[in-house]
Structures are given as structure tokens and as C-alpha cells.
Amino acid sequence: MQTSMASIMICAILCLCGCSSSNGTPANSVAQGIYCGSFTATFGSTGSSSSSGGSSSSSSSSSGTSGSSSFCSGSDSSPVFFGMVQADGTAVFFTKQNSNLVLYAPAAVTAASFSLPVNAIGLNGSVVRTVAGGTDSGTLTGTVSGGDLSGSISDNYGNNVDFAATANADTWARTSSLATVAGSYKSSFSLGGTTYAPTLAIDSGGNITGTDSGGCSYGGAVTTPDTLHNDYNMKLTSSCLSGQTFSGIGAYFPAGLSNPNGILSPAELKVGLSNGTASGIYLNLSLSN
């Protein structure tokens, strides 16, 4: 999708560590859940290619449980919109088509109707405003009704992404725990033109350690802000990422789930992260033990 917005799971404008109400339980956003759907895109004269490879696109996408590279099912070429909203309104959304992946991080989504500032970044070299991995900002406008989320993301350059998605209640209803995600995972991501392929271990306390073949070391932590739902926070650091800390949210998908892509195996932990400024990572962690 050609858009001047690409996203970043920005921790700076979102309360990524799980805001709580006065009684210590998460606030109850009406929009909370895991969403799967599709998008269309239109572009102004100054737009540049990103998620749809430079042309408007339209397609429906079934709201399956999980896919090889997203929260949702659907073919690699279909324009998929997916993401999640935590109980406190912290949110992250993605558009994906072919190899183009854009991540959108709005301010907290707490009301049934909303118009919010959103930050964006092109992930894995996706082009935004003629720049691979470029960034932009705009406005996320939408409504939540009966488990459906719909709306648009627009910027000042005439670029617009319309989306429609459905909450996957069964996926969101899975409880979360550190014991559930404990294990060794493999993943890969691109940042600044370099591809990293770490093996990360999450212990029973949520601590992350890891290395990759390039000699990079990794650290961080996983926490569970809302144990009643499939809801995880993550922080990740690396010796090869200039001391940056990437923070974000995600969900866990156990092995054996069935969708149009087949049977999921192994289990996966899917997380969107940002460094709070202009870089983002989408981690599709596959359990390896």
C-alpha cells in the first residue's frame, strides 16, 4: 500500500507498560481485542509506495487466528490489516501486502468512536514518503461496534488507508502467563538495512537473553499486563542496536491452531516494537524447544 504512513509501536505516546485503574486492574477499553481484516489505500500526489507496492488495493481477508507472518490468516499477496488493543487502550496496527509491512501506533484507543494522532514507520525496508523505512504521522479515525473495528488513517499529503476488521474473541480470550511463553524462540527482522536472526530465550520470570550468528547479544523482558487476556508487553535490547530499547505489545499463538494457512506449528509469539522515535521491529518468534 502506498502510504506516507508507516508505523512504529511507539512506547513514548502509548502507555506500553500497562496503565492501571485505581484498584490495580487494567482499565477497560471498549476497543480491546485482537483484530483481523483488510484495507484499501488511495494516495495523493506526494505519496510513495509502502504497503501495497505503489498502487491502490482492495481485498477481503478472513479473520483467522494466525498466519505465518501476521496475527491473521490470508495469502501473502492479500492486503491484510491486523493488530491489537490492550485493556488500557494501548494499540498497534499493521498493514501487510506481499513483503510490504507498515506499523501504525496511535494514542490510546479508549472510546467507541475516536480521532487520534498516529505515528508510523515502514518496517523491513518498506518505503514511506520515498524512503525505505521512512516515517510519517497522521490521524487515525474510527469506530468500534459489535466487535467490528473500521475507519481510516490519513496524513497531510492526501494519502489515506481505509480499513475494516473483526475482533477474534477466542484468540483474545486466552489467558496470559509467563509460564505460557517461557522457552527458546527463533526470529529474524531487518533494521537499518541489516538483517538480524536472534535466538531468544524467555525464562519463567519473563527475562530475555539471546545471541545471533553475527555476535550480537540480546536482553529484555516480557510482562503480562492483563492475565485475563492474550496480552503481553515486551522490551528488547541488543549490543548491536546502539543501546536502544525497543518496547511493544503482542500476543501468543499456541501450536495446533487451524486456519486457511494450515495448522500452526510451532507456537508463535508475535510482537510489534519501537524505540520510541523512528525505528520499529515486527518480531514473529517461533518456539524452537
Burial of 162 (0-12, 13-18, 19+ CB in 10 A): middle
Percent of the chain residues topping a pLDDT of 70: 78
Taking the whole predicted model, whether its pTM rises above 0.85 is answered as no
Q: Measured on CA atoms in the order 255, 100, 281, 191, is the torsion positive or negative?
A: positive
Q: How many CA atoms lie within 13 A of 10 on its CB side?
A: 21
Band of residue 45 on the pLDDT scale cut at 50, 70, 90: low
Judge contact between 199 and 184, C-beta under 8 A.
yes
Instruction: Please count the other Cβ atoms lying within 10 Å of the Cβ belonging to residue 160.
Output: 20
Judge contact between 188 and 283, C-beta under 8 A.
no
Judge contact between 289 and 267, C-beta under 8 A.
no
The string of pLDDT tens digits covering residues 87-107 is: 999 999 999 988 889 899 999
Burial of 223 (0-12, 13-18, 19+ CB in 10 A): middle
Asked whether residue 3 carries a pLDDT value surpassing 80, the answer given is no
Asked whether residue 10 carries a pLDDT value surpassing 60, the answer given is no
